[in-house]
Structure 1
């Protein structure tokens, strides 16, 4: 009896056959994918952001905060890079500086880099919502915010370059699960408030099928920890990354991007009587995600991604409904608390130059992974209606929507929410130093912008 000699090429062909049998459909095509991560926890205690009541630096590090990168492509075909950061948001200026640095280094196109924030409310202030605090930051605190943001740019550029350097032929696929700890927080206004409980997952493996990375998306605020836990922490997002990685082969990486969760809170959350329970809640929510990812990895309904993503980007103008009255701002600025801080900041800007924006340039980005997946990146705090509408119009399993991407201008309400009013439509603008709510055409402008750059195969 002759001994069977299995050569590397035969192993690869067997792997392809295995993928075909396991529900991938067409044979997978290797893509060059690189991965890297770096700690971005502040080196000294600073003010955490997201809750206005915190008025002193963090008291410990419960979780390291991470930036992680996934790079597709090579020098010949060009690079496409997605970076996740454990921060409340990413200012447009930081994104642009990272893009400029990488453009000089590797010639990357703006549409082929996206930076997505986890929206953890237990991360450092980075200049997104300076007026969100109950009292103005002191000079030393402002200096720390500036220094942190300045240091983040070279760190993210280096992270991207490391991911490129680590790129190897890989197999890429995606699937979708579900977890249900997100709840619509506007139920006092809308008893039938909707949520998006879908959990799209992207898997990167080597050519033998060993998992190298998982990237997942869930539409929910990272607010499980309340302000009484004054520690650096990734919230449920950080726990999900930790616990997913614990279930993967050694060295594999988990990344989390946030869906349209601006009006969605984690539940349970923020136990003010027993703040230590927040840590327990976050662990449980992370476990729910890790368990669902594990379930998906054991099933056969993964779809192969056979092409490098093709990026497109467009900016649209969103208009504010009205300009503030300086006398009303002056009256409010004489008080105390978050709104008075906002009024004083806005009044100072008006007194210096009248430079209050009537419009903002809003970035929309699309990555086309082929006929069965398109990824949409939206800036700011986007409410769930956008994802629900896109999935209804384009197909539940074909569209993956990330918010908190590339910029953090403010909340992005839908027409429905603008008509209902409330925090996401109006009062949240105070924290972002914006003059008022948006005009009612905001949803149509954004949706038309998305459709204008979607690939023909997905429309």
Structure 2
């Protein structure tokens, strides 16, 4: 017999256009110059608020490279001031490399990636859009059900470390992909439909030469699923995609080739999402499962560096050698050594930083046999595969780029193979251990 006080899922959803109206600083590529020159496709903040009568949670996806600890806290404070009381906010970026710049400590410390101009007005407008999306979703709360489906898409991903790495400097190229697509079909009593899907892949179809704002391939996936599902609201949670890129990217692509690639990848992922939704339609409904919350604090200590004076001397030596290579016209040698200079400058920035760690709170939401964990950065694929394998729940959604941005989180085994993700990571090896143990504690796997 069902009693009135038993958990009853209720949801509300909303999507707000957060596309800047004026040219803005863009994020994602250190080589990009100037501000945005227009809009290729709109950027959105999409919110799903769900409650069980005792606990209220908001899942929010925003078309940005990253969010930050400060942005997440500001959104929480503004929502509370508006009377929207949440027990948990899981705010995640899609990680598009063609969106406006949002500061984050681990991003601002990178010399080629940080914005050199004041972006506070842009951030304020984005923040207001996120708050508006959550507020509208909260106003639309009504009884709902959730069903979970799965599919595979193994034709659009490539592990970039397995392909030699960014800059081609991984010592022992290897690494997996995660082809699983998870879709949550959320249906309300009044007939509205929300699709939450999870897939691990960098949105980097665009390039540093392109200056049009874009959601990248997730924007095409959204349009494809909306068309197939009669206008359903679509919310994307990227996964453990730190070393996963779209397959078949021409390094010299430009103009329409960029957007054709976005279309190809986004449409294929969209087809997989639709297959996962068909699978969901035959699955058991989550209707009266209570919402359980948990979280773990991870300090993410920063990696140790030589003294700033020592690194400055190394940078000066590299610049002299680069000048000599440029004078000789050795483009290949210059490009290779220039990566070393970039890494040295990144290391110098950490040595001069007045911080010792990147404190974070990793949230976890569980509804029946469904778990959703927020991962604050660029988590490499092997982490994600292991977390899901060892999770206590049947379905674990890995929401990457959530609540904050700590940069790359490789596995300890990746460190000896070096590469871009290892050389630009801000955290110490012991932070990787702390992170892994914390997530496994949350999702129910033995450490």
TM-score (norm 1): 0.81
Matching of residue 310 in structure 1 with residue 292 in structure 2 = yes
Contact 2:161 2:174 in 1 (8 A): no
CA distance change for structure 1 residues 304 and 194 in 2, over 3 Å: closer, same or farther? same
The superposition leaves residues 276-327 of structure 1 with CA deviations (integer Å, 9 ceiling, x where unpaired) of 2121111111111221222333345424223243222221122333134221
What's the RMSD between the two structures over aligned residues?
Answer: 2.9
Equivalent residue for 2:385?
A: 388
The superposition leaves residues 173-222 of structure 1 with CA deviations (integer Å, 9 ceiling, x where unpaired) of 111111121110001245542110100100111347x5611010111111
Contact 2:146 2:184 in 1 (8 A): yes
* Secondary structure in structure 2 of the residue aligned to 1:424: helix
Could you tell which deviates more after superposition, 289-298 or 59-68?
A: 289-298
CA distance change for structure 1 residues 413 and 73 in 2, over 3 Å: closer, same or farther? same
Matching of residue 84 in structure 1 with residue 81 in structure 2 = no
CA distance change for structure 1 residues 348 and 396 in 2, over 3 Å: closer, same or farther? closer
Shift of 1:344: 7.5
Taking the aligned partners of 1:286 and 1:162, their CA distance within structure 2 comes to: 27
CA distance change for structure 1 residues 313 and 100 in 2, over 3 Å: closer, same or farther? farther
Contact 2:203 2:218 in 1 (8 A): yes
Taking the aligned partners of 1:381 and 1:363, their CA distance within structure 2 comes to: 16
Contact 1:87 1:124 in 2 (8 A): yes
* Secondary structure in structure 2 of the residue aligned to 1:319: coil
Matching of residue 283 in structure 1 with residue 258 in structure 2 = no
Equivalent residue for 2:75?
A: 98
Taking the aligned partners of 1:401 and 1:206, their CA distance within structure 2 comes to: 24
Could you tell which deviates more after superposition, 358-367 or 378-387?
A: 358-367
Q: How many residues align?
A: 410
Paired residues for 1:396-407 under 5 Å: 397-407=394-404
Contact 1:417 1:424 in 2 (8 A): no
Pick aligned residue for 2:210 from 229, 233, 240: 229
CA distance change for structure 1 residues 317 and 390 in 2, over 3 Å: closer, same or farther? same
Equivalent residue for 1:247?
A: 228
TM-score (norm 2): 0.83
Equivalent residue for 2:93?
A: 117
Shift of 1:262: 0.3
Gapped regions of structure 1 (runs ≥ 5): 1-28
Equivalent residue for 2:245?
A: 265
Contact 1:132 1:338 in 2 (8 A): no
CA distance change for structure 1 residues 340 and 98 in 2, over 3 Å: closer, same or farther? farther
Pick aligned residue for 1:178 from 148, 152, 162: 152
CA distance change for structure 1 residues 444 and 304 in 2, over 3 Å: closer, same or farther? farther
Equivalent residue for 2:197?
A: 216
CA distance change for structure 1 residues 339 and 105 in 2, over 3 Å: closer, same or farther? farther
Taking the aligned partners of 1:157 and 1:214, their CA distance within structure 2 comes to: 20
Equivalent residue for 2:357?
A: 359
Matching of residue 198 in structure 1 with residue 174 in structure 2 = no
Contact 2:177 2:244 in 1 (8 A): yes
Taking the aligned partners of 2:308 and 2:444, their CA distance within structure 1 comes to: 46
CA distance change for structure 1 residues 197 and 327 in 2, over 3 Å: closer, same or farther? same
Taking the aligned partners of 2:350 and 2:181, their CA distance within structure 1 comes to: 42
Equivalent residue for 2:416?
A: 419
Taking the aligned partners of 2:56 and 2:393, their CA distance within structure 1 comes to: 28
Pick aligned residue for 1:443 from 420, 432, 441: 432
CA distance change for structure 1 residues 310 and 39 in 2, over 3 Å: closer, same or farther? same
* Secondary structure in structure 2 of the residue aligned to 1:100: helix
Taking the aligned partners of 2:344 and 2:120, their CA distance within structure 1 comes to: 22
Taking the aligned partners of 1:198 and 1:136, their CA distance within structure 2 comes to: 33
Pick aligned residue for 2:44 from 61, 66, 69: 66
Taking the aligned partners of 2:411 and 2:187, their CA distance within structure 1 comes to: 38
Matching of residue 44 in structure 1 with residue 22 in structure 2 = yes
Could you tell which deviates more after superposition, 408-417 or 322-331?
A: 322-331
Taking the aligned partners of 1:273 and 1:107, their CA distance within structure 2 comes to: 45
Contact 1:224 1:270 in 2 (8 A): no
* Secondary structure in structure 2 of the residue aligned to 1:172: strand
Shift of 1:270: 4.8
